[in-house]
Amino acid sequence: MNKDITIYDIAKNLGVSPTTVSRALNDHPAVNPKTKKRIFDAADQMGYQSNVFASNLRSKRTNNIGIIVPRLNSSFQSSVLAGMEKVANEAGYNLIISQSLESYEKEKANARSMFNSRVDGLLVSLAGDTDKTKHFQPFMDKGTPILFFDRVASQSGHTGVVIDNSQAGYNATQHLIQQGCKNIIHVLGNLKINVYGERLKGYKYALMDHDIPFTQENILHSDLNEEAGEDIAHKILSMDPLPDGLFVSNDACAASCIRSLKQAGIKIPEDIAVVGFNNDMISRLIEPNLTTTHYPGYEMGEVAMKNLINHLTDNTEGVLHNTNTITLRSELIIRASSLKKKLEP
């Protein structure tokens, strides 16, 4: 097995001091440019590898930022990660990305791995069954900043980047009411997750403001995936009377539900008007095109990463506390799936 090439090997090969080699490889201005070039060329030819880990230990920085997301196979999370990667790359940071698969236990294991990897900061969107955040305490004790996005911790003292989910839920429900719907089903995920609890709140407020009574039977909990859409459609078809409106907290689930309802002879939107959430690509592919809420994932990723890196650049230790919540704008995009009434020309 070939031994690793060291700065001492390069120094011996070129007849210079190890200190000169070290300074040249770190681009020190005191080293003559011609000498620096000789040293870089020799390092390349000899197969020298910089010991980044040792360098990081000395600087107490790894230039790595950890990211924990619920699932990687999500259009929304992919968009968020793209925004994060752009900002991190421009600032010279690397990303270590893991997924919790909606599991609290997996999230804890991911957090432990990130801590042991000495990440400079951590960005987290919580798992579906996470209801406590003690597993992030080691980061706070060490002064490693944590920023939550989309699915945020309810405890105060943490910065979170979110949209106004309550207002988004209100707008979606009110739109269905304005189309003449009076019996509206709301499909949502685990209420431990802040986004679903807030959207439910908005749904209830919209009903209240339009004098429509709230009934618990109109709330359906779901995993919000494609298979769940078929199950929801079957539940809806068994209802008497049939609902006339459907607000689903996920576009993929809403699209699957539309397909199953149409196969059963239900006309969309004439019989049931449908609104989704996220503005995923599927919302523009399903027929009729799906009314949905544009969730600014790419912007959320950019804002979250910029705030974390600004905190690191300012050399501020401890919890991010300049603001507890950064709220981004969302927008209801009205398409054919919900239009019982024609839009005014």
pLDDT in tens, 195-253: 999 999 999 999 999 999 999 999 999 988 888 899 999 999 999 999 999 999 999 99
- Specify which residues 68 forms β-bridges with: 98, 124
Answer whether residue 107 is part of any domain.
Answer: yes
Cα separation, 104 vs 136, in Å, equals: 12
302: its two tokens:
């950019």
pLDDT in tens, 251-273: 999 999 999 999 999 999 999 99
Whole-structure pTM value: 0.79
Answer whether residue 57 is part of any domain.
Answer: no
Do residues 283 and 173 both lie within one domain?
A: yes
Answer yes or no: are the C-beta atoms of 55 and 45 closer than 8 Å.
no
pLDDT (average), residues 87-113: 94
Answer yes or no: are the C-beta atoms of 121 and 147 closer than 8 Å.
yes
Do residues 313 and 288 both lie within one domain?
A: no
pLDDT in tens, 59-84: 567 889 999 999 998 889 999 999 99
Distances in Å between the alpha carbon of 154 and those of 49, 77, 325? 45, 20, 11
Do residues 285 and 307 both lie within one domain?
A: no
pLDDT band, very low/low/confident/very high, at 158 (cuts 50, 70, 90): confident
Answer whether residue 197 is part of any domain.
Answer: yes
56 has pLDDT over 80 = no
Answer whether residue 345 is part of any domain.
Answer: no
Answer whether residue 73 is part of any domain.
Answer: yes
Residue 227: predicted pLDDT: 84
| Residue 92 or residue 131, greater confidence | 92
Do residues 87 and 203 both lie within one domain?
A: no
Do residues 251 and 323 both lie within one domain?
A: no
Residue 156: predicted pLDDT: 56
Do residues 247 and 193 both lie within one domain?
A: yes
Do residues 177 and 213 both lie within one domain?
A: yes
Residue 193: predicted pLDDT: 86
Residue 27: predicted pLDDT: 76
Q: What is the CA radius of gyration of the chain?
A: 26
Answer whether residue 196 is part of any domain.
Answer: yes
Answer whether residue 303 is part of any domain.
Answer: yes
Residue 220: predicted pLDDT: 96
Residue with tokens 């270590």: 96
Do residues 158 and 99 both lie within one domain?
A: yes
CATH number at residue 197: 3.40.50.2300
Answer whether residue 11 is part of any domain.
Answer: yes
Do residues 152 and 96 both lie within one domain?
A: yes
Do residues 274 and 309 both lie within one domain?
A: no
Answer yes or no: are the C-beta atoms of 177 and 243 closer than 8 Å.
no
Do residues 181 and 289 both lie within one domain?
A: yes
**Residue 308: φ, ψ to 5°:** -65, -45
CATH number at residue 33: 1.10.260.40
Residue 1: predicted pLDDT: 45
Residue type, 209: D
Do residues 303 and 158 both lie within one domain?
A: yes
Domain range for 115: 62-163+297-328
**How many domains does the chain contain in total?**
3
Taken in order 303, 309, 314, 315, the sign of the CA dihedral is positive
